[in-house]
Amino acid sequence: MPQGRTHLAFELGTLPGWVALGVVLHVGRTSLVFFTGAYVMASLFLSPDLDLAKSDASRRWRGARFLWRPYAAFFRHRGISHSPLLGPLTRILYLAVLGAALWAILHMVVDVPFPQVVPWESALPVLAGLYLPHLLHVALDRTVSLGKRFILHRG
């Protein structure tokens, strides 16, 4: 399987092409900024390999990597966390639960109000930015696996 650095190089290496495609398709500047930000965050911090306790992605979280241990314990490697549709959703929902817990604690301690403004027009570019690196990661994993099987069965 490709190492974490290979996945990251592949994902970030294709980003200029995706942004150029957005420019050619006349996607708005704000949408491209939201897409790019989500794409880089997903590539660096929300890799499907967070289901491994010791992965490059979990190490990037540095002191906060302990937050991903329950995720790694709950999801076996290459299971649902590598599903094209459900993989990013598991990480988005996991972060939402962590965020809600943090907000609840802050709300009880210092009465932090719940944020009311949600920029819904940015939802689609953000989702695209979160999903596309995941799809590239899974595609690279599957391509390498197929290649190895082909070589093993052919030889």
Query: How many structural domains is the chain composed of?
Result: 1
In angstroms, the CA 120 to CA 103 distance is 21
Q: How confident is the model at residue 1 (pLDDT cuts 50, 70, 90)?
A: low
What is the pLDDT at residue 150?
A: 67
In angstroms, the CA 135 to CA 107 distance is 36
**104-142 residue pLDDT tens:** 998 888 887 877 776 788 999 999 999 999 999 999 998
Residue 29 identity (one-letter amino acid) = R
The residue that leads in pLDDT, 31 or 3, is 31
**Cβ within 8 Å of residue 14, ≥6 positions away:** 136
Identify the domain containing residue 136 by its residue range. 4-154
Written as six digits, the tokens of 128 are: 């695209």
Q: Could you tell me how far CA 127 lies from the centroid of its own chain?
A: 10
